[in-house]
Structure 1
């Protein structure tokens, strides 16, 4: 989808390939593997160093897109604007850049997180590569191998996050108390509390609804905008998009819903930054199981 000549939600691999070498284009590789994080947290970065879209920078979910120094904010705490904007400058990103992020999970780890970080700064010219790394390779599009070339840094990006887009646990409870919609992007079995492979407690926030992030995709590709619009309008049930707050395990895959809604022409939804891992840090908060 384009907006005023810019890519602002998902963008096709062919469009990005045709734009390689454009002065304003910055491609960011955000490949990361949560399942092996404890044993090999840098597996995505290793893969990037081996082969990538030409010119792609690398964004590490733990180091660049989160602030792991923070406590009681979930497993992937939202970073401070000053730290994140410094990283943008190091990647050569300025307010005029067209940014394209990709990962190997249909945007859910952690390309959509980078997309929403930039959107929360007010940067509209940012998109996620539809189909991700696998689709790029399947199409036989250009790749680059070997040690990445150094990036010419720019001045730190000047900006701050819109606080209205980012909710903590107390704000989420108040949101639910006033009839707001909380949508959990985790797999159904995690939402129901039947399995919990990562966090110490299974289940969900009482009052939340479940829509797995995978419902936004078909065969790893984004559903058409009109299909997503119908599905999210049904979920909203007459509410405005900003009345939807997305969550997941740690505030990463939830951003996939925010991306999908923007693609569908329904921007303005918000993020529970701590998500489930942040909710359960206070044992006094209620936990629900089942549907």
Structure 2
């Protein structure tokens, strides 16, 4: 399964296959809410992934890594081993946020060379298709995992600054337009955006029902935004490196592969007050 998205009916049809279904529900305002919701009802066989505990390493000490630093490869390997993952298993991630959190796990799995998809429409789509829910924890058999992140899948701040100065990349900011313009900033210490970045709020990837829009529609919009820049020269960012993955997922869905993630994103950029900040640009 190499497609970035899977619909609920197709997932039901693949019920007998060796899939690892991962519930990625998470609320920034209440980090334990997603786990509580999971215990009350989740896709059959699904295990739970916490954005803070499993998809990030909040204990990293170095400054400038952002609010949701990537876990080290060994730490992520231990997480996948605890989930019972093997390289033969395809991960299917879902949430109740239009893929905003599930997309982070999708990107992480793809960045280690693994097969992964996001359930289009998430939990709501599953229930609308008549899918049943289970409660409580799922028992798994732990595995031994070794992995490395592809260094070509992401950029850190120094490399990004050099690439921006050289004009060799286009930086795309996935935050909502008011945050990008610097009109408001509910989470980070400074409002605004990285000079030169263009804005593509990730919510624009979804239709009114919370499904990803058609590939040809997304492709046309991204091509217009990027003005001829190839996907390999595109870097995505957001507030902390999470919802930027939604734009990466949308580009992949549209057949535009090869873009990278600026992992520290805005929270990492503004950790150094000497870095420039732009505001009020369209």
TM interval, short-chain normalised: over 0.9
Residue 20, structure 1, aligned to residue 4, structure 2: no
Q: Give 3-state SS (helix, strand or coil) of 2:93's partner.
A: strand
Residue 154, structure 1, aligned to residue 143, structure 2: yes
Counterpart position of 2:120: 130
Residue 107, structure 1, aligned to residue 96, structure 2: no
Query: Aligned partners of 1:134, 1:172: CA distance in 2, in Å?
Result: 37
Residues 222-264 of structure 1: CA deviation (Å, up to 9, x unaligned): 0111111111122222222011100000000000011111111
Q: Give 3-state SS (helix, strand or coil) of 1:182's partner.
A: strand
Contact 1:17 1:142 in 2 (8 A): no
Give 1:135 deviation, angstroms: 1.9
**Is there any run of 5+ residues in structure 2 with no aligned partner, and where?**
none
Query: Aligned partners of 2:246, 2:192: CA distance in 1, in Å?
Result: 21
Misfit runs of 4+, over 3 Å: none
- Which one of 130, 134, 144 corresponds to residue 140 of structure 1? 130
Give 1:207 deviation, angstroms: 0.5
Residue 29, structure 1, aligned to residue 20, structure 2: no
Contact 1:20 1:54 in 2 (8 A): no
Residue 281, structure 1, aligned to residue 271, structure 2: yes
- The within-5 A match list for 1:1-291 is 6-22=1-17, 24-34=18-28, 36=29, 40-70=30-60, 71-72=62-63, 73-108=65-100, 110-123=101-114, 125-145=115-135, 147-156=136-145, 158-179=146-167, 180-219=169-208, 220-291=210-281
- TM normalised by structure 2 equals 0.95
Contact 2:47 2:138 in 1 (8 A): no
Q: State the aligned residue count.
A: 277
Give 1:99 deviation, angstroms: 0.9
**Is there any run of 5+ residues in structure 1 with no aligned partner, and where?**
1-5
